Amino acid sequence: MGECIFCKIIKGEAPAMKIYEDEYTMAFMDIAKDVDGHLLVIPKKHFTNILDCNDEYLINLMRTVKRISNHLVDDCGYEGVNLLNASDESAGQSVFHFHIHVIPRKLGDNIKAWPNFGGAETPTEDIFKRISML
């Protein structure tokens, strides 16, 4: 965790353009320069991803995501948001501190934030039988 860039941001050891902070969470501008308004929301305690995040921090993280999403739409002129997360390297996670990307959206902005899936290989019914929790 000593080299985690998000932990360094939380501790004030690395710069960030913070837009929101509370006891549990922090939100700041993503530096990727890929989409106008691209934000990251993180828990202020280190969790690798959603798979190891405890309920207390997860609930507060999602409250912050909702608060920021509403702010973007109600106060900043956006019409919607995409929420993106990758949990584990197999899912494309590259920074191993749990975070949610918030992408502000407007109709006609031509942002392709939804993945282009190649099509399922297994019948849905077979997957359903394997993953059902009922």
CA dihedral 3→5→6→10, nearest 10 degrees, is: 80
> Which token pair is 75?
């106060």
CB atoms within 10 A of CB 73: 15
Annotated catalytic residue, options 38, 97, 99, 101: 99
Determine the residue type at 115: P
Catalytic-residue membership of 71 = no
Can you tell me the distance from the alpha carbon of 119 to that of 128, in angstroms, rounded to the nearest whole number?
Answer: 16
> 113: which 2 tokens?
């934030």
Catalytic residues: 99
